[in-house]
Amino acid sequence: MRDFRKSKRLLSRRQTLKGLGAAGVGLGLSSFPAPAVKAQSGGPIRFLNTETGRETLAFFDRIAQEYEELTGTEVIVDSVPLSESFTKITNGIRAGTPYDIGTVGFIGHVLLLADEGHIVPVNELTDAHQWGNKILFPLDGQVFWYPFDYNLSVIYYRKDVYEENGLSVPTTWDEFVANSEASVAGRRRGSLFPIGSNGATNWMSFAFMWAEGVELFDDEWNVLLDNDEMAPKAAAYLDMMARLYETMPPGALQASYADVLSNMVAGTLTHGPYAGRVLEAAHRDNPEVAAQLDIMPYMDSAGEQTAVSHGYDGWIVMNTDNLGPAMEFMRWMTNERMIDFLHTTPVHFQPARLDIYDNERWRDNPMIQQYGHVLEMNRRFITDDSVILTSIDTQGPAPDVRPGKIFESFVLPEMLQNKILRDMDSAEAVAQAAARMREVIA
């Protein structure tokens, strides 16, 4: 066998080790945090999509091809689930290959990107239209995204179960809990409102509290939750949720969007929160249930106020060297192909632009005609100022990242869990949540 130690080598062992050591140090130093760079220039428009339904993906394939034929500009569409969007966008920026257009579903992310100068105002696209309530989130008059839909969480209920049990649409918490209790039969449970530390709970389970008039911040961003006015309301909400929990199936503490959706579509719940996707899924998989579904807003304890939980999606235009072509593509898509896009998921994509509700072509869609009553009620929720339209991430006097931090740290779901899981006194659970909120936004 050849003895490598005795052979005449180009590099000595010492030199090899020194070389490898230097390479390691160099590599290590080179990977220390470095500022993000912009590198896009001229090439194809890179579009990050988060709507992954089959029809929507086909739509983007179609319009990318159409736009290239029309203008000669290539459009590359990448699609990821919404939960991956922000990481994908920021990784692109960090790697020097940012997307030119992105999709986001969390206003905190828009604010972060705007604050760091990674996205540009799109007023030239949005100013031409009328919009529903609380959807543009302007910063000093500048609008940094093009919202394409609302995803309002409302309460779906089964009309047939209501008829069988002689129930009427509730206007107070007591009535709602009573209806939920009365409709438990066999394997069908009264309701399912998620309680775990996840986005589903943040979105679906707190609008009862908003209807009661609870606000998280004052105009100076001080936490209000435990003050004399809000604390009793929040505590009453927790007491109500503890009663409602008794009518829920096992698993509420881990329930996700999918759990609520599948249970509603399967017909094992009388009440469940969601946006239009419930109707889309039930229409496809269980039309009998779909025909029996109707919606109501969340109500307060006294029957005086209603609320819906805010949800939304929109497009952002990134500050890349491809800005001009990207903005032109956005102009073309939002002017010429917006209805086609919305028709890919007709009920769930509740338009943010008010002119669309009266657009004949939009209304001609069979699904929209069939579930028109739901869409009309949803339209009222975004135009009627008496309906409270808010969510954890949109609380406060102005668009800001602080409510986003409360959302992401799951302070309010933990307040619910303290009550339901640990049977904590409601006032104590509220006080703990308020203290935690102050920590999070400090």
Partner 1 sequence: MTRWLLPGFLFVGALATLILIVGPALYAISLSFYEQQSLTADPIWVGLNNYATVLGSAEFWNALGNGFFYAGVAILLQVVLGIGFALLLHQSFRGRTLLRGLAFLPYLLPTVVAVLTFKWMIDGSLGIVTILVDDLGLPPIYWFETESAAMMSVILVSVWLWTPFVTTTFLAGLQTVPVQLYEAARVDGAGPIRRFFHVTLPMLRPILTVIILLRGVWMFNKFDIIWLTTGGGPLGATEHLPVLAYRQAFTLFDIGNGAATATLSFLVLMVIVTLYFWLFPMDEKK
Which token pair is 162?
């209501």
Does 93 contact partner 1 by CB under 8 A?
yes
| 378 phi and psi angles, rounded to 5 deg | -65, -35
Q: Which is nearer to partner 1, 93 or 392 (CB)?
A: 93
- Separation between Cα atoms, residue 135 and residue 389, nearest integer Å: 10
CB of 170 to partner 1, least distance (A): 22
Q: Which is nearer to partner 1, 90 or 306 (CB)?
A: 90
Name which of residues 102 to 141 contact partner 1 (CB under 8 A).
Answer: 112-113, 116, 118
Does 16 contact partner 1 by CB under 8 A?
yes
Does 227 contact partner 1 by CB under 8 A?
no
Single residue of 251, 339, 377, 383 touching partner 1 by CB under 8 A? 251
CB of 187 to partner 1, least distance (A): 6
CB of 421 to partner 1, least distance (A): 6
- Separation between Cα atoms, residue 391 and residue 202, nearest integer Å: 8
- Separation between Cα atoms, residue 34 and residue 355, nearest integer Å: 45
Binding mask 166-205 for partner 1 (x = CB under 8 A): ---------------------x-x------xxx-------
Strand order in the sheet with 350-351: 75-79, 45-49, 101-104, 312-317, 146-150, 350-351
Does 32 contact partner 1 by CB under 8 A?
yes
> With contact defined as beta carbons under 8 Å apart, do 298 and 92 qualify?
no
| Of 225-233, 334-342, 350-358, 410-418: span binding partner 1 (CB under 8 A) | 410-418
The continuous run of DSSP H or E covering 78 comes out as: strand 75-79
216 CB-near residues (< 8 Å, 6+ apart): 223, 224, 225, 392, 395, 396, 403, 406, 437
CB of 143 to partner 1, least distance (A): 21
Does 262 contact partner 1 by CB under 8 A?
yes
Does 422 contact partner 1 by CB under 8 A?
yes
- Separation between Cα atoms, residue 187 and residue 319, nearest integer Å: 53
Single residue of 6, 33, 220, 288 touching partner 1 by CB under 8 A? 33
Q: Which is nearer to partner 1, 265 or 338 (CB)?
A: 265
Name which of residues 46 to 85 contact partner 1 (CB under 8 A).
Answer: none
Does 97 contact partner 1 by CB under 8 A?
no
Single residue of 15, 52, 65, 91 touching partner 1 by CB under 8 A? 91
Q: Where are the beta strands (DSSP E) in 182-286?
A: 189-191, 269-274
Single residue of 149, 212, 226, 259 touching partner 1 by CB under 8 A? 259
**How many other C-beta atoms are found inside a 10 Å radius of the C-beta of residue 354?**
16
Q: Which of 91, 71, 140 is nearest to 111 (CA)?
A: 140
Q: Which of 349, 381, 314, 393 is nearest to 155 (CA)?
A: 381
Q: What angle do CA 302, 305, 309 make, to 5 degrees?
A: 120
CB of 418 to partner 1, least distance (A): 7
Single residue of 6, 12, 28, 168 touching partner 1 by CB under 8 A? 28
Bridge partners, 139 (sequence order): 142
Which token pair is 358?
């009266």
User: What is 358-404 written as a DSSP string?
Assistant: G-HHHHTSHHHHHTHHHHHHHHHHTT-TTEEEE-GGG-SSS--HHHH
| Of 89-97, 221-229, 313-321, 327-335: span binding partner 1 (CB under 8 A) | 89-97
Does 417 contact partner 1 by CB under 8 A?
yes
Single residue of 6, 12, 27, 385 touching partner 1 by CB under 8 A? 27
Give the interface with partner 1 as residue ranges (CB under 8 A): 2, 4, 7, 9, 11, 16, 20, 23-24, 27-28, 31-33, 35-36, 87, 90-91, 93-94, 112-113, 116, 118, 187, 189, 196-198, 248-254, 259, 262-263, 266, 268-269, 405, 408-409, 414, 417-418, 421-422
